Amino acid sequence: MNRREFVSGLTAATAFAGVASTAAAADGRRVALVIGNGAYRNVPALLNPPNDAHDIAAALKRLGFTVSLATNAGFDDMRRGLIALGRDAAGADMAAVYFAGHGMEINGENWLIPIDAELKRDTDAANEAINLQSVMLQVSNTTSLGLVILDACRNNPFAARMKRSIATRAATMSGLGRIEPVGNVLVAYAARDGTTALDGDARNSPFAAALLRNIEAPGVEVTFMFRNVRDDVMEATRNEQQPFVYGSLSRQAIYLAGRPAAGAEGAAPPNPLPAVVSPASPRTMTSPTIDPALVGTWEIMVPSGRGQSRWIWQIMGDGTYRFHTEPQRSARPHEGTITAANGRWTLHAIRGLSGYSDGGAYEVHDALAVITGKLGTGAWKRSAE
């Protein structure tokens, strides 16, 4: 196959697999392709990716995924693996791709680099590398979640040696470029767009190590799991590297390692913020209508058409609350009264939102509160404010 036909070939394969696997929808299958490229032939080798791939593959198998593992894969190996994954993923409950190795952005397109790539010119990427768009396509026909995890934002030696065409004279940048997944697809970068990730000097990269610590934690919704990974990586790298997740899922809860214990069923945070501080002091005077465990400041990150916004609730011990968002345009600030006891809560706005009220269930686990209301269920974390 001519490599320029790769993307169209993947599209056709995925469409065919979608028709053939309709009867398998909602069958609970989980499939994954894990690739770790370190032994690059034309640039210095990377030490960690094969280790990262082996360890992530083992974790995914323990989570019930049928895993195909490829280390030090060339273009043809990656192409065949992705086509096979697309066929298996159609109608499955979950499909995941994990890639560790070199990746780069060229003129708005993101590419994953096989070990046999030469990339003497930027225009060679179409023939020698794998387009991220085609990877997302392969996991897009699942019934629950399509997940792409990329530890591919390292300093890239290909970019420095590459000759750039006139059409893409300002083409390459550090790391991978921003993307906008659609449907039920999430894409996790080891470092946010335009920045680079560290390889580290241990068995695993900082990102892979954090992912391995969190991916099998039971009862943690998938977007919240990635926020925990973010915190761990930023702590390990002294804030030099910030992982980032792209995509927007529905309110339906998605768990990789099992649902929460009874009573927290359906906890589904739409990208909760990871900042954590100590719970409220037990000396705080509280009203008999407010659970002391809820007193404090709570926050969550909520996706919107303009990116993400930070929603912040300040709950006082006297049974009053204040709410605001950052940026302010994402929701109207308001304040009022709140009651919370025995797992149930209600609130009534007094200022800012005339006549507004809400209510539902809650459960507090130290610095995490699983709260259900009119907007669905979310996992809120204690704020540093």
Residue 214 lies in a domain: yes
Residue 264 lies in a domain: no
Residue 252 lies in a domain: no
- Choosing from 212, 231, 246, the residue where a domain stops is 246
Rounded to whole angstroms, the Cα distance separating 80 from 84 reads 6
Rounded to whole angstroms, the Cα distance separating 321 from 13 reads 53
The arithmetic mean of pLDDT across residues 310-320, rounded, is 89
197 within 8 A of 190, measured Cβ to Cβ: yes
What is residue 294's three-state secondary structure? helix
Same domain for 321 and 236: no
Which residue has better confidence, 160 or 58? 58
Q: What is the pTM of this model?
A: 0.63
Residue 257 lies in a domain: no
**pLDDT, position 11:** 41
For 183-193, write each residue's pLDDT tens digit: 899 999 999 98
Residue 235 lies in a domain: yes
Q: What DSSP string describes 28-53?
A: --EEEEEEE----SSS---SHHHHHH
Domain CATH for 180: 3.40.50.1460
Tokens describing residue 40? 């690059």
Domain CATH for 372: 2.40.128.490
Residue 253 lies in a domain: no
For 227-255, write each residue's pLDDT tens digit: 999 999 999 999 999 999 999 887 788 99
pLDDT at 330 over 90: no
Residue type, 142: T
Q: What is the DSSP letter of 3?
A: G
240 within 8 A of 197, measured Cβ to Cβ: no
Tally of domains within the chain: 2
Domain hosting 108: range is: 3-246
For 95-128, write each residue's pLDDT tens digit: 999 999 999 888 788 999 999 999 888 888 889 9
Q: What is the DSSP letter of 215?
A: T
Tokens describing residue 52? 């990262």
For 40-58, write each residue's pLDDT tens digit: 999 989 999 999 999 999 9
Same domain for 229 and 119: yes
pLDDT at 380 over 80: yes
**pLDDT bracket for residue 385 (50, 70, 90):** low
Same domain for 202 and 296: no
Q: What DSSP string describes 308-369?
A: EEEEEEEE-TTSEEEEEEESGGGS--EEEEEEEETTEEEEEEEESSTT-EEEEEEEEETTEE
Residue 378 lies in a domain: yes
Q: What is the DSSP letter of 280?
A: P
For 216-229, write each residue's pLDDT tens digit: 988 889 998 999 99
**pLDDT, position 204:** 94
Residue 200 lies in a domain: yes
Same domain for 183 and 105: yes
- DSSP H helical ranges for 90-221: 125-128, 132-138, 157-161, 206-214
Largest CA-CA distance found in the chain, in angstroms, rounded: 72
Percent of the chain with pLDDT over 70: 81
Same domain for 93 and 33: yes
pLDDT-wise least confident of 66-70, 72-76, 119-123, 213-217? 119-123
Same domain for 302 and 180: no
Q: Which among 111-115, 171-175, 362-366 has the top mean pLDDT?
A: 111-115
Same domain for 296 and 242: no
**pLDDT, position 153:** 78
Same domain for 28 and 122: yes
Same domain for 191 and 55: yes
Same domain for 179 and 102: yes
Same domain for 213 and 296: no
Same domain for 192 and 51: yes
